[in-house]
């Protein structure tokens, strides 16, 4: 499929985005969509995807040049996600690793950056992200996993996280845990810490969930039973972990927009190809405006969302508060892509539901992206309250 670089990409990012898109051919050759799907159907991993991303040096993007990375910031990471998603191979572990290491780049010590960030460039270090808990769900303020000071100066962690993607393929988890003891007088956002935890430590157990979403990465419940971690596992300041994590989550929202929009483009291209040839009435169904218009509308809405996405990335890279645009990008990208996948299913008729056609296979993932990593309603809450100044519900 042609990887056109839309002229609507932010002008100053166009060269960067184009060079990332060029690198995608090698990754696609190593892990085509057919392999990605086959592995997910067999409940296996696709190590070819991660290895090819490492080989193409795509993990160096987003790490500053002065630290030996390739620079490019969030804009570069968004381009990686969008370009791979457009060819049907959205790399979840890539996205988890890039936003986990962002928290360490921002708040970690030099030693933590050397140990946990620079090592991601060679693929040696891979992260999963541990925020969601069974009872707290969207309300992360209610998280109950605790990290209490131990007599040796480190922390002891106990609790449970859920839906943790790629926990079995990651060596470390970036974990949000409560550091303030019960009854301590702290504000809603205070009393948390962000920890880098080695997943091979004693006391950690993973249980795989059977999640239907057609990807070769899987979700896990992760249990922490009095896990001892050293003091250096804490990233940034004890008590401010929630704020540290929020700055990473803004990046996550923009990368997730790229993931959704890439998948939407993949679906749209399939629909257009099909509509040009399928002709039950003697001429292509693509000539019927009832078929054409939803596809044209999806294209227009995805391009609009893409503008907001690259604008959010540019704002983030310039050091400004990108909260509002990052949230808008996630919301608009997820919704526009959902409409594109839905239109692709309708265009394909019955054939959409044949596994090999690979159209209905896009539906669970694009549906998940309306809920995870943040549901669209919570994005609207944010925009209503922060942007419009409306009262909290
Ligand atoms: C495939 C997959 C991968 C995931 N990977 C990870 C991961 O790697 N790490 C991680 O930490 N988590 C991960 N998650 C968890 C994901 O972030 C949560 O599912 C999501 O945050 C929603 O939490 P919940 O499922 O508990 O829904 P709930 O909090 O129970 O919410 C249910 C529904 O209620 C509505 N709702 C909730 N809150 C509000 C509100 N304030 N206002 C209006 N409506 C609201 C929404 O429609 C929402 O979908 C993953 C989930 C899935 C499905």
pLDDT digits (tens, 9 = 90+) for 143-190: 999 999 999 999 999 999 999 999 999 999 999 999 976 555 467 788
Residue whose CB lies within 8 A of the most ligand 1 atoms, among 126, 130, 163, 364, for a mutation test: 163
As given in the structure block, the two tokens for residue 203 are: 């006391």
- What's the gap in Å between 64 CA and the centre of ligand 1? 32
Measured distance CA(254)–CA(328) in Å, rounded? 9
At 168 the three-state DSSP class reads coil
Q: Report, at the CATH architecture level, how domain 243-387 is classified.
A: Up-down Bundle (1.20)
Sole residue written with tokens 């390739």: 70
The residue whose CA is least distant from atom 14 of ligand 1 is 163
CATH of 11-120, one of 1.10.540.10, 3.20.10.10, 3.40.50.300, 3.40.50.1010: 1.10.540.10
| CATH code 1.20.140.10 region(s) in the chain | 243-387
Reference 168, options 128, 215, 197; nearest CA is 128
Reference 16, options 67, 95, 78, 64; nearest CA is 78
Reference 383, options 333, 326, 336; nearest CA is 326
As given in the structure block, the two tokens for residue 383 are: 């925009």
Does residue 369 contact residue 334 with C-beta atoms inside 8 Å?
yes
Reference 49, options 21, 104, 87, 22; nearest CA is 87
Largest CA distance in the chain: 79
| Ligand 1 atom nearest to CA at 161 | 11
Does residue 84 contact residue 27 with C-beta atoms inside 8 Å?
yes
368 CB within 6 A, ligand 1: yes
| Ligand 1 atom nearest to CA at 365 | 1
**Total number of residues shown for the chain:** 393
From first to last of its 393 residues, the chain has per-residue pLDDT tens of 444 545 455 666 778 888 888 888 999 999 999 999 999 999 999 999 999 999 999 999 999 999 999 999 999 999 999 999 999 999 999 999 998 999 999 999 999 999 999 999 999 999 999 999 999 999 988 999 999 999 999 999 999 999 999 999 999 999 999 997 655 546 778 899 999 999 999 999 999 999 999 999 999 999 999 999 999 999 999 999 999 998 788 999 999 999 999 999 999 999 999 999 999 999 999 999 999 999 999 999 999 999 999 999 999 999 999 999 999 999 999 999 999 999 999 999 999 999 999 999 999 999 999 999 999 999 999 999 999 999 998
213 CB within 6 A, ligand 1: yes
| Per-residue pLDDT tens digits for 347-364 | 999 999 999 999 999 999
The residue whose CA is least distant from atom 36 of ligand 1 is 377
Q: Residues 127-240: name the CATH superfamily.
A: Butyryl-CoA Dehydrogenase, subunit A, domain 2 (2.40.110.10)
Residue whose CB lies within 8 A of the most ligand 1 atoms, among 95, 128, 132, for a mutation test: 132
The predicted model scores a pTM of 0.95
């Amino acid at each position: 499929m042609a990887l056109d670089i839309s002229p609507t990409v932010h002008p100053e990012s166009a060269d960067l985005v184009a060079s990332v898109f060029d690198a995608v051919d090698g990754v696609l050759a190593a892990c085509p969509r057919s392999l990605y799907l086959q592995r997910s159907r067999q409940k296996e991993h696709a190590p070819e995807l991660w290895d090819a991303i490492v080989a193409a040096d795509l993990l160096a993007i987003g790490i500053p040049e002065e630290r030996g990375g390739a620079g490019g910031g969030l804009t570069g990471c968004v381009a990686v996600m969008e370009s791979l998603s457009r060819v049907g191979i959205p790399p979840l572990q890539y996205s988890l690793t890039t936003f986990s290491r962002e928290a360490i780049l921002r708040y970690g010590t030099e030693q933590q950056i050397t140990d946990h960030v620079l090592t991601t460039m060679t693929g040696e270090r891979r992260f999963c992200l541990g925020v969601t808990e069974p009872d707290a769900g969207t309300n992360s303020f209610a998280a109950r996993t605790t990290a209490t000071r131990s007599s040796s100066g480190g922390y002891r962690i106990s609790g449970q996280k859920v839906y943790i993607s790629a926990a079995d393929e990651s060596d470390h988890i970036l974990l949000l845990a409560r550091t303030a003891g019960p009854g301590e007088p702290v504000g809603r956002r205070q009393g948390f810490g962000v920890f880098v935890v080695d997943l091979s430590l004693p006391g950690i157990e993973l249980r795989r969930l059977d999640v239907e979403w057609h990807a070769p990465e899987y979700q896990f419940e992760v249990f922490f039973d009095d896990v001892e971690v050293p003091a250096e596992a804490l990233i940034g300041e004890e008590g401010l972990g929630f704020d540290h994590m929020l700055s990473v989550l803004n990046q996550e929202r923009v990368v997730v927009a790229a993931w959704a929009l890439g998948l939407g483009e993949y679906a749209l291209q399939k629909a257009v190809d099909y509509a040009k040839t399928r002709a039950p009435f003697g001429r292509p169904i693509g000539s019927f405006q009832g078929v054409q218009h939803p596809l044209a509308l999806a294209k227009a809405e995805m391009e609009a969302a893409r503008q907001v996405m690259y604008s959010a990335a540019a704002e983030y890279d310039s050091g400004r508060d990108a909260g509002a645009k990052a949230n808008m990008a996630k919301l608009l990208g997820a919704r526009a892509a959902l409409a594109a996948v839905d239109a692709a299913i309708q265009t394909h008729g019955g054939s959409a539901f044949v596994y090999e056609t690979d159209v209905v296979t896009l539906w669970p993932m694009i549906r998940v992206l309306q809920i995870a990593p943040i549901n669209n309603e919570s994005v609207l809450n944010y925009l209503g309250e922060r942007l419009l100044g409306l009262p909290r519900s």
